[in-house]
Amino acid sequence: MTAIEPLLRPSLLRRLSMAAAILPLAGCNTILLNAPGDVAAQQGDLIVVSTVLMLLIIVPVIALTLYFAWRYRASNTKATYKPDWDHSTQLELLIWAAPLLIIIALGAITWMSTHTLDPYRPLDRIAKNRPVPADVKPLVVEVVALDWKWLFLYPEQNIATVNELAAPVDRPIQFKITASTVMNSFYIPALAGQIYAMPGMETQLHAVMNKPGDYEGFSANYSGAGFSHMRFRFHGLDQAGFDAWVAKNRASGATLERAGYLELEKPSEKEPVRRYGAVVPGLYRAILNRCVDSSKMCMDEMMAIDAGGGLGLNTDALAPRRKGDLRGGPVVTSAMCLTEPTAGSTLGVATLAP
């Protein structure tokens, strides 16, 4: 017997064939179809329903294609042969009616789910047949996508964390999401679908976790060199566990101030979890309006000036405007740029005061 003869045995070949067929499934993660969060679970149901509806057309078409190829093969002399046949009203109605009904059903499901699962829409239930209790307020979490890490601010608890997120189970969560530089995508598959994080803009997401556990979150939009490691952990906890987690963060003793945020904002990879027991007031608003650096005018202040007529027509409105968190006086600084210098002109900064 040669060394390769045992490999040629039929039983062994069958086992190897089965292993080869199962191997591609080894990396499958069914969290999308078995999500512990109610919003993600509803989205998973949409995937299943849409797939089944489309298979109602795809499977019969494939089966009939194979059947016709076999039934009307050239060697089958028993099959009806009509070389001049070109039309059948009944067949046309069948061919077009079935896909039309599927499209109508998919359209109705899409319309209803688009409104029901709108990420900006506050939740009206925490699970199937379980409405949100009237005395329960959502947990507000302010999310900032940095390069390449995640910052989470809890205004109610006045704490902050880097690359770690937690929430009580069965309590609605309201995420307010922005970014520091480029666009990212905030995504926790077990909780809800992805939503983009963009600088100078705020997106929102309402969701709820129904089962305690440790789940993965990450950025689903490529954002540069450190994108692959832009991941964090989401902890679904009972209320006692969440209170202990909040106390753990407060015990860190660190305060996230503006100067600390500007350092944190600098690009870095594989950042460990950081905890802050307090957050300086107004930090998220300053991040959103891109004026954490107090020497810069906040975007909402710029827009208020523009809405009043701009620098040329609204000089009176400049007096009460302040830069960032400065409290010193009613002075607004704005860069005045020219495309091409002219004789006697300068490029620089104009300071306007009442």
Euclidean distance between CA atoms 173 and 77, whole angstroms: 69
- Domain borders along the chain are 29-71+89-117, 130-288, 299-352
Partners of 129 in the β-ladder? none
Q: Is 131 left (phi over 0), alpha (psi -120 to 50) or beta?
A: beta
| pTM, 2 dp | 0.76
Q: What is the pLDDT of residues 323-346, one digit of tens each?
A: 444 444 444 444 434 344 445 444
* Residue 337: per-residue pLDDT: 40
82/163: higher pLDDT: 163
* Alpha-carbon dihedral 305, 306, 312, 316, rounded to 10 degrees: -20
More confident residue, 338 or 165: 165
Q: For residue 307, what pLDDT is reported?
A: 81
pLDDT at 13 over 90: no
Which pLDDT does position 350 carry in this prediction?
39
- Average pLDDT of the residues of the chain: 83
Alpha carbon distance 207, 143 (integer Å): 14
In 3D, which of 266, 232, 230 has the Cα closest to residue 148? 230
Query: Per the structure block, which two tokens stand in for 78?
Result: 């028993």
pLDDT higher than 60, residue 121: yes
Task: Give the domain 130-288 fold.
Answer: Immunoglobulin-like (2.60.40)
Give the residues across from 332 on adjacent strands. Answer: 352
Q: What is the pLDDT of residue 189?
A: 94
Angstrom distance (rounded) from CA 13 to CA 22: 14
Q: Is the dihedral of CA 261, 263, 269, 270 positive or negative?
A: negative
Confidence label for 156 from pLDDT (cuts 50, 70 and 90): very high
Smallest Cα–Cα separation from 173: which of 114, 233, 122? 122
Instruction: Give tens-digit pLDDT for 260-311.
Output: 999 999 999 999 999 999 999 999 999 999 999 988 889 888 888 888 777 6
Give the least confident one: 93-102, 163-172, 178-187: 93-102
> What is the per-residue pLDDT for 74?
86
Residue keyed to tokens 């991040």: 287
Query: Mean pLDDT across the stretch 244-262?
Result: 95
Proportion of the chain above pLDDT 70, given as a percent: 79
pLDDT given at position 23? 53
Least confident stretch, 40-54, 150-164, 196-210, 316-330? 316-330
Q: What is the CA radius of gyration of the chain?
A: 30
Q: Would you say residue 245 has pLDDT above 70?
A: yes
pLDDT score, position 11: 61
What's the per-residue H, E or C state across the chain? CCCCHHHHCHHHHHHHHHHHHHHHHCCCCHHHCCCCEHHHHHHHHHHHHHHHHHHHHHHHHHHHHHHHHHHCCCCCCCCCCCCCCCCCHHHHHHHHHHHHHHHHHHHHHHHHHHHHCCCCCCCCEEECCEECCCCCCCEEEEEEEECCEEEEEECCCCEEEECEEEEECCCCEEEEEEECCCCEEEEECCCEEEEEECECCCEEEEECECCCEEEEEEECCCCCCCHHHCEEEEEEECHHHHHHHHHHHHCCCCEECHHHHHHHCCCCCCCCCEEECEECCCHHHHHHCCCCCCCCCCHHHHHHHHHCCHHHHCHHHHCCCCCCCCCCCCCEEEEECCCCCCCCCCCEEEEECC
